Structure 1
């Protein structure tokens, strides 16, 4: 390709004078041919003479300035050889063999990424359904190509494809799941108290239902009734209750929620990660308040947990909700990065253990 371009560029300035001064130009071209032939002979006096690619290039370019009937008299090679050199340099322009690969062109990386993403997020879809979704996105790709991408990545066809995992199930049903788990609090005098935490997966809203020294089944049933009354006042209520197999719950506990339209889901035995959302919130309660406060009695822990519940639902930012609190329904107005003339007001909770910040009016 480069040789063809240079050959074309070299012929254009040489052919321009031939139109204006044909006779003088032909004589000058003959002299150039003879000089170059003399240089070739001096370079290799022994016979036979071998012409390098640069020599062939120069002779073929000068042939455009000399009448064809005189080629046999001027050039050291036959006219057919000159024409062969000319065709070779010209044909290089249309030679794409160096740029052409055998077989089908490779699939773009962005298409492979989309195929694997669709297969991961939709485990029940086959390669033809994924092909249709790609067509809606503007990517025209064959179904066999989608199958090859999935097969190379080790993604099996449905329904043998593994999934959904427990995490994927909880993520898909997060808006309708409320979890339940007991946690204990030790007082300064060595007395053990129990509380029932019920966080919502979708919003992260926390319900701490009661504190007692003896968490019996009757007490748990009463806490379930209190929670269903609170949930009944909302427009959207959960659809599932996720709990472990603790004996404190009992059949009556599940019946309260089932009567309200909730389906009770039990986690596997000795598998706290199946209720990881609840375990994480209980860990936050311990790290943020219980590990730093000396609990005196049952009334004290009720007041501390109620204050933390209010802070958790109305002010504490949550990463899963884009740094919004649980009760926030929409993103607050965007704040400018300029210095605000108003001062920041700090509200101290639980003796300064937790601080809330707001702008003054």
Structure 2
């Protein structure tokens, strides 16, 4: 190889050395030099090297024994580094293709996502144990991969929204609505609402809402042991020790909302806004009895005639009336309510 290597400074010795080389090697060396010239023509200063350029230089240099003398643009160490990177990339893809495991079936993937969505407190290991009961073997990391789009972060405990959704049938809420009459005197309306059906259980009006009066309203709203398991209220001072004693003796657990969080009692807050917008903003209030009658009519309309979006456009307490058979059209009746402020549309039997 010492005699075959052509010196770069002697044209005659280089030509004599080329006579001893094969035609294939000479063509490869010429292609290597030509590729370097192509790179030089792209830019005057430092030419950029594309992936195809690196691949061609490595392949052509592997076909030339004297490839180091034919390199002018890069160092031999750089070319060796490119060769190692290509070698590493080739074997990485080859071993990955061989070690690839069979994919999960779409049914298993949908089952994992369903478990992750319906059980917010379940982790990957808990879902894996449920799948093992069904004779489905999936690794923990695979379950975590499909859980990630469903649940970004795992909750540390049960949230307030989850608690209300799980116990909506056993939760009532109560709140006060302050009304000012025509002579600027305050009136207080007290409401108790069932969370699941949005039905208004009880309503009453007073000018002086004392602790005993509020406790009496709770007694009237829960006759014959018809009590909820939880009752949500705010931190109003009107709820005193008498109210707490009546709730305790009735087996009701009172849940106090945090300070400055009306969204914790969202159903009552939404109802109070509906009362103002749909009823009180359109009427003059003179006295306590008038407000009591007005609110009772509105509550009857709210429970039996007003559809609710939170109930999929159903009524909280639909009246038991004989409806016409399906497929038959009947005459539509318009029943005025609240003095014609609202109307209830029904089909004649």
**By how many angstroms is 1:191 displaced?**
2.0
Partner of 2:297: 307
**By how many angstroms is 1:182 displaced?**
0.6
Partner of 1:180: 174
Task: Confirm whether residue 263 of structure 1 aligns to residue 218 of structure 2.
Answer: no
Task: Confirm whether residue 321 of structure 1 aligns to residue 315 of structure 2.
Answer: no
CA RMSD of aligned residues (A): 3.1
**By how many angstroms is 1:357 displaced?**
1.4
- In structure 1, which of residues 99, 106, 119 is the aligned counterpart of residue 116 of structure 2? 119
Residue-by-residue CA offset, 1:192-230 (whole Å, 9 max, x unaligned): 21011111001111034311111121221221221122x
Q: Secondary structure at the match of 1:189?
A: coil
Task: Confirm whether residue 358 of structure 1 aligns to residue 346 of structure 2.
Answer: yes
**By how many angstroms is 1:347 displaced?**
0.7
Partner of 1:129: 126
Quick one: higher RCO (CA 8 Å, sep 6+), 1 or 2?
1
**By how many angstroms is 1:293 displaced?**
1.5
* Gap change, CA 1:293 and 1:335, over 3 Å in 2: farther
Give yes or no for contact 1:241–1:263 (8 Å, CA) kept in 2.
yes
In 2, Cα distance between equivalents of 1:153 and 1:347: 47
Partner of 1:348: 336
Give yes or no for contact 1:179–1:201 (8 Å, CA) kept in 2.
yes
* Gap change, CA 1:101 and 1:208, over 3 Å in 2: farther
Question: TM-score, normalising length from structure 1?
Answer: 0.62
Aligned length: 253
Alignment gaps of 5+ in structure 1 = 1-96
- In structure 1, which of residues 214, 225, 232 is the aligned counterpart of residue 219 of structure 2? 225
Partner of 1:240: 230
**By how many angstroms is 1:138 displaced?**
9.0
Equivalent residue runs for 1:97-116 within 5 Å: 103-107=100-104, 111-112=108-109, 114-116=111-113
* Gap change, CA 1:156 and 1:323, over 3 Å in 2: closer
Query: Which portions of structure 1, spanning 4 or more consecutive aligned residues, are displaced by more than 4 angstroms?
Result: 105-114, 132-140, 151-157, 332-336
In 1, Cα distance between equivalents of 2:255 and 2:276: 26
Q: Secondary structure at the match of 2:258?
A: coil
In 2, Cα distance between equivalents of 1:333 and 1:108: 48
Residue-by-residue CA offset, 1:111-136 (whole Å, 9 max, x unaligned): 55543442343233232332354567
**By how many angstroms is 1:166 displaced?**
1.1
Question: TM-score, normalising length from structure 2?
Answer: 0.64
- In structure 2, which of residues 201, 213, 218 is the aligned counterpart of residue 207 of structure 1? 201
Residue-by-residue CA offset, 1:279-308 (whole Å, 9 max, x unaligned): 111111111111112222211111110001
**By how many angstroms is 1:171 displaced?**
0.9
In 2, Cα distance between equivalents of 1:294 and 1:334: 39
Give yes or no for contact 1:112–1:149 (8 Å, CA) kept in 2.
yes
* Gap change, CA 1:351 and 1:168, over 3 Å in 2: same
* Gap change, CA 1:281 and 1:154, over 3 Å in 2: closer
Equivalent residue runs for 1:123-202 within 5 Å: 123-134=120-131, 141-150=138-147, 155=152, 161-202=155-196
Partner of 1:277: 267
